[in-house]
Structure 1
Amino acid sequence: MALYLVSRTDHHDYDEYDAIVVRAGDEATALKIATNGTERTLPGYTRWDPDFRGFERDGSNLTVERLESRGPAGLVLASFNAG
């Protein structure tokens, strides 16, 4: 397992994440962790609530960079811009 830095490629705003560090086996798993969330069906529409606000569900505004390390899979650090 390695550490992966997942960063936004677009402008971030208040109350959004701009980067997280996760431990994963590969870039695809790191991106899957970063784009995780909950889909909620409400009367008249469906809403996506991401675990990391500001990260697009399809990962289109993210880059993934491998950082060497060992350990179990999971979140190591999240950078959130409080407003």
Structure 2
Amino acid sequence: MSIFKVGRTDGHDYDEYDAVIVRAGNETGALELVLTSPGHWLYDGKPMRGFKADGSNATVTRVVEDGPAEIVLSSYNAG
């Protein structure tokens, strides 16, 4: 398993996700987790709020263990 950052390629609004860190076997699995997991207490069978069901507004990036110290994700979209 690897760690992946799944991020939005479009803008975002209040009460929407713009990025998620997940553990998965590959990029496809990482995107599938985001598109099929309840990410909010109002889960209605749709992807985490803000992500399109077909994944067309998402990118998947593998987070590698080696490299410089850095913040991997800081996401603040309170509404």
Fold shared by both chains (TM-score > 0.5): yes
Deviations 1:1-44 (A, max 9, x none): 11000000001000000000000010000010011157xxxxxx
1:63 maps to which of 54, 59, 63: 59
Query: How far is 1:48 from its partner?
Result: 4.7
Query: Could you tell me the percent identity over the aligned residues?
Result: 54
Cα distance, 1:67 vs structure 2: 0.9
Moved segments of 4+, more than 2 Å: 47-50, 77-80
TM-score normalised per structure 2: 0.73
1:2-81 equivalences under 5 Å are 2-37=2-37, 48-50=45-47, 52-68=48-64, 79=75, 81=77
Give the unaligned 5+ runs of structure 1: 39-46, 70-76
User: Closer, same or farther in 2 for the Cα pair 1:20/1:11, shift >3 Å?
Assistant: same
Aligned length: 67
TM-score (norm 1): 0.69
Q: 5+ unaligned residues in a row in structure 2: which ranges?
A: 39-43, 66-72
Higher relative contact order (CA 8 A, sep 6+): 1
In structure 2, give the amino acid aligned to 1:61: N
RMSD: 2.1
Q: Choose between structure 1 and 2: higher strand proportion.
A: 1
Deviation at 1:82, TM superposition (A): 1.8
In 1, Cα distance between the equivalents of 2:54 and 2:5?
17
Larger CA Rg, structure 1 vs 2: 1
